[in-house]
Amino acid sequence: MEQNQDKLKDIISHSKEYGFIFPSSEIYDGLAATYDYGQLGSELKNNIKTYWWKAMVQMHENIVGIDAAIFMHPTTWKASGHVDAFNDPLIDNKDSKKRYRADVLIEEHIEKIRQKIQKEVDKGRNRFGAEFDENQFKATNPNVLRNAEKIASIEERMKSALDNNDLEAVRNLILDLEIVCPISGSKNWTEVRQFNLMFSTELGSVAGDAATIYLRPETAQGIFVNFLNVQKSGRMKIPFGIAQIGKAFRNEIVARQFIFRMREFEQMEMQFFVRPGEEMRWYEYWKEAREKWHKNLGLGNHNYRFHDHIKLAHYANAACDIEFNFPMGFKELEGIHSRTDFDLKQHEQFSGKKLQFFDPEMNESYVPYVVETSVGLDRLFLAVLSSSYQNEKLEDDSERIVLKIPAVLAPYKAAVLPLIKKDGLPEKAREIQKALQFEYNVQYDEKDAIGRRYRRQDAIGTPICITIDHQTLEDNTITIRDRDTMIQERISIDKLEQKIAEKASWKKILTDLDKN
Ligand code: ATP
C-alpha cells in the first residue's frame, strides 16, 4: 500500500514535469481536486476519446453521437430524480474534523476483508502448487468461508440501510464494524447526513428559485431529452444507441486521489435504447463488449474486475462496475447500468411530451428501455498512465523511466532525430517529419546526445524513435528504435509509414478489437 501511494506520487510529479497534468490555477496555489491537462495530457486525452468514439460510433451503424449543452432546463433534474435523490451519505470524524462518505468507509472495510481472503488463497496456491484448485479452496477453507460470510452480512446490512434511507443504521454499521478514522484513529463519529452533489448557479440576472440551474452531474440526461430528435432526424430503429463525450460536475464530499475523483470531470457515455423485456440481454452484451474494449488496450487483463452494485441507483434494475487496479487498489472505472424506462418515462411525465418509438415490426408504440455504458475519461487516463509508468533497471545498471502507453494513444507516435546538427542531417530529418505529419503527431528533436534524446522520448511514451545519420543520405535508410524493447532496426524510408501504422494506427487497434 505504502509503495503504491509512492507510485501515485511519482506519477503526479512525472505528469507535471512532462506536461501531462498541472494543478489548476497553480500560481494561486491551486484549487482543490481541480487539474489542467497540459500539452501532452491533452493529446493523450484526445486519443482516448478517439478510441472510444471510433469503437462506439464509427464501428456501429446503429450508434450515433451528439454533443449536448452542459446547462439544461432545471425541470430535467427534477424529472431525473437528481434534485431529490442525487445524494451521498456523509459522516465526520469529530477528532480529525475530516469528512468521509459513509458508504465508502464501509466499502473500504469490506475490501480489507477481501484482501485477507486473497492472502489465504495465495498461501494455498504456494502450498499446493500445480494441484491448486482456487474455486474448491474458496468453497472449503474455513478462514475463507468465515470472511466471505462476514462480507455477505455487511453487504446485506449496508444495502438494507441505504435502500431504506436509514442513516442511523448506516452509522450503527460503522460503529459495529469498529471503523476508525484513518487520520485520527478514533471512532468518534458524527451522525450520517445526506448531501446533494449537484452544483447550482443562477441564470441571467434574475435571482431566486425560478432561475436556479444546475451544472449537469452526468451527460446522460442530454441524451434522453434528445431521444426523439435523434431517432426521427436520423431515422434510427430500435435497438440503437446515442453516444456523447462531455463534462460533468459533482460537488464530491471527498475529492482526493489526483484525477480519480474530481469535481469537474469528463464522461464518455452511451445510452442504448432497446425493446422492453430485452434489456437484460443487452446489459450482458454491453458488459462483454466494454470488457473487450478495455482489454484490447493491453494494460494487462489481470488489472480488471467486475463488481456488481449492492445498492442500485433509483433508476436501475441491474448495474455493475468495471474496476481497474489503480495505484490505490481496485476502483470503479466504468459503470454499466440497465436504467429501465425510468428516465424517458419521467421526462414524458414532467414535460407532457410523448417519448415513444413506433416499432413497425411489433406494430405498437412503447417507451424504450435503456442500457447505459458510462466511463470516466479522467479515470481511464489515470489507468493508462499508472499502468504504463515504469522505472526500469537496464543491463548497464542505469535506469530509465518509460511510459509504455498503448502506441495508438501515445501523444507522439514517433520522434524524428538527426544524429548530429550538421551535414544536411537536420534537413533530411525535417523532410521525414513533414511527410509523417499529415497522418501522425510527430516530434522533431536535435538537441543533446542521441541517448539523452531517447530517454526523453521514453519518458513521454513515444513508441518509435527515428534516427537519421550519414548513411541515410547515401541509401535512404534510417534506424528505428522501439520504446519497449529498445531494439534498433535499419529500414528503408519507404517502409517507415507502414511500420508506424502496424504499431500505432487506428486501423490496427480497431481491427484487433473487431477480431476479439
Ligand atoms: P463513484 O462511486 O466512484 O462515486 P459513481 O458510481 O457515482 O462513481 P457513475 O455515476 O456511475 O459514478 O459515473 C460514471 C463514471 O464517471 C464512473 O465510472 C467514473 O469513471 C466517472 N466518474 C464519476 N464521478 C467522478 C469524479 N468525481 N471524478 C472523475 N470521474 C468520475
Cell matching residue 488: 534498433
Q: What is the pLDDT of residue 210?
A: 64
pLDDT at 204: 77
CA distance 98 to 326: 24
Q: Ligand 1 centre from 373 Cα, in Å? A: 12
Longest CA span, the chain: 80
Our answer on whether the CB atom of 472 is closer than 6 Å to any ligand 1 atom is no
Which tens digits make up the pLDDT trace of 357-394?
A: 999 999 999 999 999 999 999 999 999 999 999 999 98
Ligand 1 atom at minimum distance from 374 CA: 14
Query: Which pLDDT score, from 0 to 100, does residue 85 have?
Result: 85
Identify the pLDDT of residue 18.
Answer: 98
Residues 124-133 have pLDDT tens digits of 999 988 889 9
- Atom 16 in ligand 1: residue holding the nearest Cα: 376
Give the residue, out of 223, 261, 264, with the most ligand 1 atoms within 8 A of its beta carbon, to mutate for a pocket test.
Answer: 261
379 lines ligand 1 (CB under 6 A): yes
Ligand 1 proximity of 375 Cβ (cutoff 6 Å):
yes
The verdict on the CB of residue 373 being under 6 Å from ligand 1 is no
The pTM assigned to this predicted structure is 0.89
* Ligand 1 within 6 A of CB of 333: yes
Question: Atom 14 in ligand 1: which residue has the minimum CA distance?
Answer: 374
pLDDT band at 434 (very low <50, low <70, confident <90, very high): very high
pLDDT exceeds cutoff 80 at 4 = no
pLDDT of 203 reads: 84
Check if 356 has its Cβ closer than 6 Å to any atom of ligand 1. no
Q: In angstroms, rounded to a whole number, what is the distance separating the alpha carbons of residues 293 and 324?
A: 13
Query: Is the distance from the beta carbon of residue 262 to the nearest atom of ligand 1 less than 6 Å?
Result: yes
pLDDT for the residue numbered 207: 61
Angle at which helices 39-53 and 506-515 cross, to 10°:
40
pLDDT tens digit string along 14-34? 999 999 999 999 999 999 889
pLDDT of 313-348, one tens digit each?
A: 777 889 999 999 999 999 999 999 999 999 999 999
CA 255 to ligand 1: nearest atom = 27
Q: 265, 310, 320: which to mutate for ligand 1, most atoms within 8 A of CB?
A: 265
d(CA 48, CA 483): 20
pLDDT for position 139: 93
Q: pLDDT, tens digit, for every residue of 435-450?
A: 999 999 999 999 999 9
Q: Which residue has the cell 432545471?
A: 74
pLDDT bin (cut points 50, 70, 90) of residue 193 is very high
Identify the H or E element spanning 369: strand 369-376
Joined together, the cell numbers standing for residue 296 give: 484490447
Give residue 466 CA to ligand 1 midpoint distance, Å.
40
Q: Which residues pair with 91 in a beta bridge?
A: 100, 192
Atom from ligand 1 closest to the CA of residue 261? 28
Query: Rounded to an integer, what distance in angstroms lies between the CA atom of residue 75 and that of residue 141?
Result: 54
The Cα 117–Cα 144 span in angstroms is 5
212 has a pLDDT exceeding 90: no
Residue whose Cα lies nearest atom 29 of ligand 1: it is: 261
- Residue type at 220? A
Whole-number Å distance, alpha carbon 114 to ligand 1 midpoint, is: 22
* Alpha-carbon distance values, 236 to 229, 273, 340, 494 (Å): 10, 10, 19, 44
Protein residue whose Cα sits closest to atom 18 of ligand 1: 334
Q: Measured between alpha carbons, how far is 19 from 401 in angstroms, rounded to an integer?
A: 15
Q: Is the pLDDT of residue 2 over 90?
A: no
Q: Is the CB of 265 under 6 A from ligand 1?
A: yes
pLDDT at 209: 60
